[in-house]
C-alpha cells in the first residue's frame, strides 16, 4: 500500500523534472532562486497549453451558434467585486502556527497542532484572496484595484453589450479564457494551485424554467470534453446544500485522482440570477432581457461550466506519461522509452522530419524541402543528429505523433518517405506529394 502511494507521489516528481528537462514547464524566475509556486511555460509547454485552449474555444465557441466570446481587462472597476461579493466573501479560513509561523488553510488540516513542528495553532480567521494593486501614481485607498479572481464577472458586466450587438436570443452563452489571480494561502502541487492561473469559463443564460435541463446538458458537454482531453476516469461530486453558495440550487465538482489525492479539476454551478441581479442593482443599469415575442422583461438565469486551463495541462501530462520498451536492434533488443501519449490534436509538435544521413546533400535538401512545406501548416521539428532510433526516442518523449524519414528511396522515382507512428511504432511508406494531407488527416 505504502509503496503504491510512493509510486504515485513519485509520478508528480517525475513529471516536474520531465517538464523542466524537455522544456515544457520551468520554475518561475529560476536564475534568481525562483518565486515560490510560480511556473513558466517553456517552448513545448506553451504549444501544449495553446492547443488545449484553442481546442476548447473551437468546440465551445466557433462550433456553436449560441455562443460568443470576449476578452476582458484583467483589472476591472472595484465596484464589480463589491457587487459580486468577492471583496466581502472571497476568503479562506487561515490559521497560523505560533511557533514556526507557517500558515495553513483551516479546512485542509486535520491535526490540532502544527503539521510541521507540532506547535500550537492560532484560531482561524478569514483571509481574503483578492490580489491587490494600485492604478496610477498615488498608492492610496482611492487608487486601490484588484486583479480578477475569476474570468466570470466580465461576462455579466458585458451582458448588455453582448445583447445589444450580437443578436443572440436565449438560451445563449458567453465564453472567455484568460488569467485569474488568487492570493492562495497554500499554493502547491506543481501547477495545480498557483496564485496566477488561467481559466476557461462559460456563462450560459437560460430561462429559469430551463435551468435543470441546461445543467444536465452542460454536465454531458463537460464529460465529452474530458474524454476528448484523454481523461479516462473522473468523479462527479454533488455538492451538498450546506457547502454550496447560497444562490446555487445545484453544483457539481469534477474531481480527478491526482498523485497527491482526489481534488477538483472543473466545476459546474447553477448561479440563478444572482450575478445579473447584483450588477443591475449596483450599477443602476437595466440588465433585463426582453422576450422578442411576448416583450416580457426578466433576468435570465445562469449555468456556469468552469474549466481550469493549468489543471487541464497537468491532467493531460499525467494521462500522457508512459514508459514502455522499444526495440533498439533488428535482433529484438529493447530499451526503456518514455512516451507522451497525448491525443494527436494536443501534441505540441505534430511531425518531425529526419534525413536518414546528414552527409548526403541530396537527402538533406529533400528533407529540408519536406520540412519547409509542412511547417506552413504544422508545428514541425527538423532533426539530423544521432541515429534514427535516438531521434525517434527524442520525439516519443515529447509526444510527437509522426516522424518522417527521407532516405535513398525518396530520391528515386517512387518518392516514398517513411512515416513512423508514435504509438504503434509501425512504419509505412507515403508518397511525398501526399504527406501534408496524410498528416492533416491523422492529427486533426
Ligand atoms: P479549489 O477548491 O481547488 O480552490 P475553487 O472551487 O476555488 O477550487 P473555482 O472558483 O470553481 O475553484 O475556479 C474554477 C476553476 O479554476 C477550478 O475548477 C480550477 O480548475 C481552477 N482554479 C481555481 N483556483 C486555482 C488555482 N489557485 N490554481 C490553478 N487553478 C485554479
Report d(CA 182, CA 184) in Å as an integer. 5
Cα within 13 Å of Cα(186), Cβ side: 14
Cell numbers given for 357: 544521413
Rounded to an integer, the average pLDDT of 283-291 is 97
Phi and psi dihedrals of 383, rounded to 5?
-140, 125
Distance 63 CA to ligand 1 centre (A): 26
Closest of 157, 155, 153, 164 to residue 289, by C-alpha: 164
Rounded to an integer, the average pLDDT of 246-255 is 94
Domain ranges of the chain: 2-84+133-316, 91-128, 349-443
Distance 311 CA to ligand 1 centre (A): 9
pLDDT band at 3 (very low <50, low <70, confident <90, very high): very low
Lowest mean pLDDT among 16-25, 66-75, 272-281, 405-414: 405-414
Which of 151, 229, 267, 270 for mutating ligand 1's site (highest number of atoms within 8 Å of CB)?
A: 267
Q: Which residue's CA is the nearest one to ligand 1's atom 20? A: 308
Q: Which residue's CA is the nearest one to ligand 1's atom 7? A: 264
Which of 199, 254, 270 for mutating ligand 1's site (highest number of atoms within 8 Å of CB)?
A: 199
CATH number of the domain at 2-84+133-316, please?
A: 3.30.930.10
Do residues 186 and 102 lie in contact, with contact meaning Cβ atoms separated by under 8 Å? no
- In this predicted structure, what is the pLDDT of residue 2? 46
Distance 309 CA to ligand 1 centre (A): 10
Which of 39, 197, 315 for mutating ligand 1's site (highest number of atoms within 8 Å of CB)?
A: 197
For 16-44, write each residue's pLDDT tens digit. Answer: 999 999 999 999 999 999 999 999 999 99
Distance 306 CA to ligand 1 centre (A): 9
pLDDT band at 105 (very low <50, low <70, confident <90, very high): confident
- In this predicted structure, what is the pLDDT of residue 7? 58
For 63-79, write each residue's pLDDT tens digit. Answer: 999 999 999 999 999 99
- In this predicted structure, what is the pLDDT of residue 83? 95
For 136-155, write each residue's pLDDT tens digit. Answer: 988 888 899 999 999 999 99
- In this predicted structure, what is the pLDDT of residue 9? 60
Q: Which residue's CA is the nearest one to ligand 1's atom 21? A: 308
- Has residue 397 got a pLDDT over 80? yes
Q: Which residue's CA is the nearest one to ligand 1's atom 11? A: 267
Q: Which residue's CA is the nearest one to ligand 1's atom 14? A: 306
At what angle are helices 435-443 and 361-374 packed, to 10 degrees?
Answer: 50
What 3-state class would DSSP assign to 335? Answer: strand
Do residues 358 and 384 lie in contact, with contact meaning Cβ atoms separated by under 8 Å? yes
Distance 4 CA to ligand 1 centre (A): 28
- In this predicted structure, what is the pLDDT of residue 444? 82
Pick the CATH number of 349-443 from 3.40.50.970, 3.40.1190.10, 3.20.20.70, 3.40.50.800: 3.40.50.800
DSSP state of 245: -
Residue 199 Cβ < 6 Å to ligand 1:
yes
Q: Which residue's CA is the nearest one to ligand 1's atom 9? A: 267
DSSP state of 361: H
What is the reported pTM? 0.94
Residue 182 Cβ < 6 Å to ligand 1:
yes
Distance 251 CA to ligand 1 centre (A): 14
Cell numbers given for 394: 527524442
Q: Which residue's CA is the nearest one to ligand 1's atom 2? A: 264
Average pLDDT, the chain: 94
- In this predicted structure, what is the pLDDT of residue 1? 42
Ligand 1 nearest atom to the CA of residue 182, by list position: 27
Q: Which residue's CA is the nearest one to ligand 1's atom 24? A: 193
- Has residue 6 got a pLDDT over 70? no
Distance 317 CA to ligand 1 centre (A): 18
Distance 198 CA to ligand 1 centre (A): 10
Which of 106, 149, 193, 198 for mutating ligand 1's site (highest number of atoms within 8 Å of CB)?
A: 193
Lowest mean pLDDT among 225-239, 290-304, 410-424: 410-424
Provide, rounded to the nearest whole percent, the portion of the chain with pLDDT above 70. 98
For 350-362, write each residue's pLDDT tens digit. Answer: 999 999 999 999 9
Amino acid at each position: 500500500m505504502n509503496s503504491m502511494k510512493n509510486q504515485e507521489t513519485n509520478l508528480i516528481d517525475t513529471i516536474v523534472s520531465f517538464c523542466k528537462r524537455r522544456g515544457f514547464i520551468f520554475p518561475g524566475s529560476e536564475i534568481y532562486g525562483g518565486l515560490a509556486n510560480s511556473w513558466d511555460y517553456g517552448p513545448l509547454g506553451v504549444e501544449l497549453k495553446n492547443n488545449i485552449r484553442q481546442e476548447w474555444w473551437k468546440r465551445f465557441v466557433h462550433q456553436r451558434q449560441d455562443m460568443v466570446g470576449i476578452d476582458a481587462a484583467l483589472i476591472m472597476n472595484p465596484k464589480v467585486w463589491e457587487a459580486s461579493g468577492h471583496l466581502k466573501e472571497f476568503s479562506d479560513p487561515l490559521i497560523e502556527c505560533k511557533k514556526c509561523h507557517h500558515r495553513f488553510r483551516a479546512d485542509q488540516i486535520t491535526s490540532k497542532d502544527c503539521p510541521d513542528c507540532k506547535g500550537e495553532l492560532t484560531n482561524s480567521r478569514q483571509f481574503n484572496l483578492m490580489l491587490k494593486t494600485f492604478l496610477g501614481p498615488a498608492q492610496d485607498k482611492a487608487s486601490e484595484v484588484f486583479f480578477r479572481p475569476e474570468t466570470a464577472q466580465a461576462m455579466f458586466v458585458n451582458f448588455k453589450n453582448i445583447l445589444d450587438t450580437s443578436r443572440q436570443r436565449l438560451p445563449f452563452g458567453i465564453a472567455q479564457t484568460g488569467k485569474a489571480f488568487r492570493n492562495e494561502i497554500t499554493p502547491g502541487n506543481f501547477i495545480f494551485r498557483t496564485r496566477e492561473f488561467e481559466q476557461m469559463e462559460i456563462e450560459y443564460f437560460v430561462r429559469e424554467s430551463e435551468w435543470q435541463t441546461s445543467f444536465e446538458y452542460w454536465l454531458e458537454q463537460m464529460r465529452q470534453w474530458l474524454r476528448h482531453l484523454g481523461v479516462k476516469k473522473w468523479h462527479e461530486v454533488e455538492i451538498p446544500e450546506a457547502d454550496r453558495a447560497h444562490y446555487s440550487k445545484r453544483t457539481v465538482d469534477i474531481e480527478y485522482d491526482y498523485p497527491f489525492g482526489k481534488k477538483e479539476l472543473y466545476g459546474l454551478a447553477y448561479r440563478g440570477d444572482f450575478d445579473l441581479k447584483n450588477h443591475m442593482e449596483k450599477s443602476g443599469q437595466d440588465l433585463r432581457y426582453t422576450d422578442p415575442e411576448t416583450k416580457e422583461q426578466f433576468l435570465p438565469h445562469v449555468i456556469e461550466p468552469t474549466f481550469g486551463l493549468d489543471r487541464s495541462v497537468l491532467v493531460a501530462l499525467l494521462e500522457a506519461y508512459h514508459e514502455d520498451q522499444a526495440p533498439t536492434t533488428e535482433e529484438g533488443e529493447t530499451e526503456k522509452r518514455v512516451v507522451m501519449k497525448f491525443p494527436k490534436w494536443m501534441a505540441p509538435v505534430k511531425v518531425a522530419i529526419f534525413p536518414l544521413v546528414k552527409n548526403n546533400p541530396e537527402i538533406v535538401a529533400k528533407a529540408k524541402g519536406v520540412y519547409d512545406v509542412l511547417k506552413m501548416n504544422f508545428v514541425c521539428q527538423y532533426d539530423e543528429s544521432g541515429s534514427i532510433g535516438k531521434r525517434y526516442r527524442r520525439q516519443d518523449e515529447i509526444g510527437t505523433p509522426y516522424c518522417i524519414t527521407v532516405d535513398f528511396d525518396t530520391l528515386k522515382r517512387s518518392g516514398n518517405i517513411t512515416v513512423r507512428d508514435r504509438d504503434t511504432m509501425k512504419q509505412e511508406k507515403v508518397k511525398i506529394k501526399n504527406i501534408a494531407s496524410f498528416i492533416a488527416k491523422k492529427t486533426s
